[in-house]
Amino acid sequence: MAQPFPYTYYSCDCYDSATLAPTSKRASHPARAEEEDERTFDPRNPRSNYSLYPLEHLLYCEDCRQIRCPRCVSEETLNWFCPSCLFEVPSSMIKSEGNRCTRNCYNCPICTSSMTVSSLEPPKVPTADDTGGLAGPFFLSCPYCHWSTLDIGIEFEKHTGITQQLARIRNGGKVVPTPKEREKERDKKRDAEARDESVAKADELSPEDLNPSEPPPQEELFSNLFAFYKSQLSLAAPSNPFSPHHDINFSSPSSFSRIMNLYSSTSSKKQKKDKPAPMREACSITEGLVPYNPSLDAAAVEALKTHGWSHTLSPTQKLHQTSPNTRFINELRPIPTLLRTKRGKRCRTCRHILSKPESKITSTRYKIKLLGLNHIPRLSVRALSSPIPLPTMAASTGSQGFDYARLSPGLPTHFLLTLSNPLFDPIRITLATPSTTAGKVQSRVTIMCPQFEVGANTDVWDDALSSGLTKRGATASTDPGSGTPQVEAGKIWDRGRNWTSVILEVVPGFLKPIPGFDFGLGGELAKKVDDEHELDEDDDVLEIPVFVRIEYESEVAAEDRAAAGAEHGRAGAAGGKEKREEAFWCVLGVGRIVGGP
Amino acid sequence: MSRPATRKAAPKGEYIETDSGNKVSRRAAITGTANITLGGRTVISADVHLRGDLHPSRPAPSSSNNGPARDAPPTSISIGRCTVVSAGCVVRPPSRVSRGAVHYYPMKIGDNVFIGPNTTISAISISSHVHIGAGCVIHPFAIIKDNVKILPNTVVPAHMVIPSGSVVAGRPARVVGEVGEGWGVSAGGAGGGALGGAGGQGWVEGGDLRELVRGIR
């Protein structure tokens, strides 16, 4: 998700740790491990895209003592609901009706905004009797792009139950039988086929079936195929051969093999395993076969000729349609709204629940929520030279603020890196960063004070009561002015109750090599360097990988203490402290480097 | 409804602060003040246009059920606590033509809502802990539920319902993601967190905006 500068992303190493484990048996492993230690995190690595998350998206597993990103949690669906009408849909309905809203919620097939039901009746003259004015035919219309179902010739009689009405109307207003009626009809046809095979053959080749004016609608095709395969499955299912409901059919290979299996018990299991019963394919229209129809293609070409390019759909519009064969604007159907889910999350390694929202749709509270930001320090970065711009001002008016999108190359810029500690124990921080950033534009980065302490997250009031006035003064001093402290190596910039800020000096690199300075290379080699220097998109974004290691002493958790006490035979382990340590990579996006001087 | 406190002695500031802590810019254009309710500690920045004069013409059915609300002026805009309306916004109650006449509907904005600069809002309801970026347009009768983030320059079409926990962007707006579990939780855990310090801001998007409101003066 695009975030404005400056931003901080946290890296979850779940993928790396998962892939490293299986390779540990290899002979080359020690070398690899060393390499792993030496390697710095590269935010430009394509794989990094998938391991970087903002802090709000991270959870923390208290049992594994590790951050858990969306990749290393497993999700379980609590319930389904329609995002438009906010009604919960029971899971049985999901299985039968699919994951779309079956009420009146539809999205515009052109622009995806939600559609509203309107009346075609012209607004009546205001009268005294309040009938509500809901009369006449209705239609779905898009409030954004003004597409409406009238464009495809569909009107509704009622303003409710749009889904049922829409299922019966083909584009152009032609009424088609509902799925239930269709099913009945299909059953009838099949019965007829079964009764007289020769008649069925003739029926299949009837001119009406062979040359339909338009392809059968997708739902009909699907229901035909679905019914066909269901019948095939029931034939192939290894049910009890002596079951009275099952008529043994020797023409079916599956039932034949089943009967054979009755007599050869030894080979039966093997055979079952390695050879699934072959299934017949659909071979008639009632079974869901679609014969190729050249007239349809001709019609499509003709439509392209007459209506032109604007008559066709864009790929996204096509993808949103439920029927994959939609090609032209007049074939569009309103899209039933996709349902959304409420999901709980579990740690993938230890299966503990990390987050569990309340199951009620309208509730936004959580029963369980183990957040990453309650366990690992928040890193925030901002330019030192400017006061914090008020977010209530438009960017153009607040021009005195620092422009993160225009970092000048070669000019040392100071950033203020603040770490705030959510833990109730003071932590020791060690920061590390590669001195030059990876990628084509090499910027130099120096953390002025890489080792420091951050105070515990104690009660706010302790701080406010003890040093309320001095704190205000301290924050004021960070503003540019006469009292600005000097940037000094090895010293922290400022600190507060549970936060400490240090200075980050960045010399943004040059986007283009300086002309006339070809690194002492020959002309041809310099040209090659030039070619390599062709910038890709977002190569001018300055992202700084920072390795953060935190150390702290914490009260031993009760169960751990009990375990330790049992191990060491100590009874009075109360107040025992435990040294803990955590480390992770972060990426600070500080801005964009401008091209020319 | 909050009237500017007359006993405040320092009138030269940018904001007029009311008894309940609302900060209303002197440069804001507010019409129909009688129909506007501010919940307290709410900021109305400069050049904000609140159209309180566009109030429902007939008493709303809900107020007719409650006896005492008969004589009170109809509410057209009601804004909750610690909500920040940034510079250049237009807040206009939604309207529609019904039986030959234009009817306005009361709009409701919840608590801790941040509305970015130069945004136009006609939503019927915006719940709490919503962050709306700069330059958005929210068309009439949109419903925005809790914990929603609307990225800058989004156009939310009329009658759209944005379910809680969504990130919304685009023209027209569509749901592009979900806010994380940590949406609106400030770094220091409970109790205001990084007071005035961390990174220079004691507030997070979608979180408690009290710190931000305090900083505006």
Residue B93: Cβ within 10 Å count: 26
| Mean pLDDT confidence for B121-138 | 94
Residues 6+ apart with CB under 8 A from B137: B119, B120, B154, B155, B156
Contact predicate A434/A40, CB 8 Å: yes
What order do you get walking across the sheet with B114-115 strand by strand?
A: B15-17, B23-25, B43-44, B84-85, B114-115, B131-132, B149-150, B166-169, B174-178
Q: Confirm if A480 and A386 have CB atoms less than 8 A apart.
A: yes
Contacts of A395 in chain B (CB under 8 A): 117, 134
Q: For Cα atoms A443, A444, A447, give the angle at the middle one, nearest 5 degrees.
A: 135
d(CA A83, CA A325): 27
The token pair that represents A80 in the structure block: 């389904």
User: Is residue B92 pLDDT above 70, yes or no?
Assistant: yes
pLDDT at residue A23 is higher than 50: no
Full 3-state SS string of A197-225: HHHHHHHHCCHHHHCCCCCCCHHHHHHHH
Residues of A in contact with B157 (CB under 8 A): 111, 113-114, 142-144
Measured in residues, chain B has a length of: 217
Position A212 pLDDT exceeds 70: no
For the beta sheet containing A52-53, the strands, ordered from the edge strand earlier in sequence to the opposite edge, are A52-53, A7-11, A577-592, A541-555, A427-432, A451-454
Q: How many CB atoms lie within 10 A of CB A85?
A: 13
Burial A106-130 (b: 16+ CB within 10 A, else e): bbbbbbbbbbbbebeeeeeeeeeee
Paired strand residues for A504: A415, A447
Q: Which of A26-35, A451-460, B57-66 has the lowest mean pLDDT?
A: A26-35
Candidate from A57-61, A267-271, A327-331, B19-23 with smallest mean pLDDT: A267-271
B122-130 average pLDDT score: 94
Spell out the domain ranges in chain B: 21-60+69-214
pLDDT band at residue B61 using 50, 70 and 90 as cut-offs: low
* pLDDT at B24 > cutoff 90: yes
Chain B closest-CA separation from residue A422 CA (Å): 5
**Is a pLDDT exceeding 60 seen at residue A347?**
yes
- Asked if A132 reaches chain B (Cβ–Cβ under 8 Å), the answer is no
Distance from CA of B175 to the nearest CA of A (A): 10
Cβ-Cβ contacts under 8 Å for A30 (sequence gap 6 or more): none
User: What secondary structure letter does DSSP report for A121?
Assistant: S
pLDDT value at residue B153: 93
Strands A73-81 and A340-347, sheet pairing: antiparallel
Which is higher by pLDDT, B163 or B194?
B163
Q: Is A135 on the interface with B (CB under 8 A)?
A: no
Q: How far is A473 from chain B (nearest CA, A)?
A: 11
Calpha distance A386→A505 (Å, rounded): 15
**Mean pLDDT (whole number) for A553-573:** 55
Average pLDDT, chain A: 75
> What are the two backbone dihedrals, phi and then psi, of residue A405, each rounded to the nearest 5 degrees?
-85, 0
Sheet strands (E) in A41-153 = 52-53, 59-61, 66-68, 73-81, 88-89, 106-107, 116-119, 138-141
What does B103-135 look like in DSSP terms, one character per residue? EE--EEE-SS-EE-TT-EE--SEE-SS-EE-TT
Q: Can you give the pLDDT at residue A211?
A: 47
Cα separations in angstroms, A312 against A108, A116, A327, A393, A459: 16, 24, 6, 44, 63
Q: Is B100 on the interface with A (CB under 8 A)?
A: yes
Question: What whole-number percentage of chain A has pLDDT above 90?
Answer: 13
N-term to C-term CA, chain A: 30
Any idea which residue has 């597409």 for tokens? A147
Superfamily for domain range B21-60+69-214:
Hexapeptide repeat proteins (2.160.10.10)
Among A213-227, A303-317, A491-505, B151-165, where is mean pLDDT lowest?
A: A213-227
Separation between Cα atoms, residue A155 and residue A448, nearest integer Å: 70
* Euclidean distance between CA atoms A551 and A580, whole angstroms: 6
Query: Pseudo-torsion of CA B84, B86, B90, B92, nearest 10°?
Result: 0
Identify which has the larger pLDDT, A557 or B144.
B144
- Burial class of residue A306 in the structure, from the number of CB atoms within 10 Å of its CB (0-12 exposed, 13-18 middle, 19+ buried): exposed
With contact defined as beta carbons under 8 Å apart, do B184 and B129 qualify?
yes
Inform me whether the pLDDT recorded for B96 exceeds 70.
yes
**Residue A196 CB neighbours (<10 A):** 11
Task: Give A 448-467 residues with CB within 8 A of chain B.
Answer: 457, 459-460, 463-464
ipTM over 0.90: no
Going by pLDDT thresholds of 50, 70 and 90, the confidence category of residue A529 is low
Least confident of A121-135, A320-334, A356-370: A121-135
* The residue type at A214: E
pLDDT score recorded for residue A499: 84
Residue A82: the pLDDT is: 93
E strands present in A402-464: 413-420, 427-432, 444-447, 451-454
Contact B147 A364 (CB under 8 A): yes
Q: How far apart are CA B125 and CA B137, in angstroms?
A: 14
Residue A192's beta-bridge partner residues?
none
The pLDDT of residue A462 is: 62
pLDDT band at A127; cut points 50, 70, 90: low
Number of Cβ within 10 Å of residue A74's Cβ equals 13
pLDDT digits (tens, 9 = 90+) for A383-414: 877 666 667 776 544 445 677 878 888 888 88
Q: What is the pLDDT of residue A459?
A: 67
* pLDDT classification of A560: cutoffs 50, 70, 90: low
pLDDT at position A239: 53
- Mean pLDDT of chain B, nearest integer: 82
pLDDT digits (tens, 9 = 90+) for A217-276: 777 788 888 888 888 888 766 555 555 455 555 566 666 676 666 666 555 455 555 566
What is the residue extent of each domain of chain A?
Answer: 7-22+31-58+377-391+400-465+478-549+585-592
A532 to each of A436, A539, A544, how far by Cα in Å?
18, 13, 22
Which residues share a beta bridge with A589? A7, A543
**Residue B110: is its pLDDT beyond 70?**
yes
Residue-level pLDDT at A596: 56
Contact list in A for residue B174 (CB cut-off 8 A) is: 112-113
Question: For A148-159, how does the pLDDT look when each residue is reduced to its tens digit (9 = 90+)?
Answer: 999 898 888 888
Mean pLDDT calculated for residue range A314-330: 87
Residue B208's pLDDT band (cuts 50, 70, 90): confident
Q: Is the pLDDT of residue A18 over 80?
A: no
Per 3-state DSSP, what percentage of chain A is helix, strand, and coil (rounded to 5)?
Answer: 30, 25, 45
State the DSSP code for B47.
Answer: T
Mean of pLDDT values over A270-294: 74
- Rounded to the nearest 10°, the torsion over CA A134, A137, A141, A143 is -30
Q: Which A-chain residues 31-60 have CB contacts (< 8 A) with chain B?
A: 53-59
A-B Cβ pairs (cutoff 8 Å, strict)? 179
Higher pLDDT: A536 or B33? It is: B33
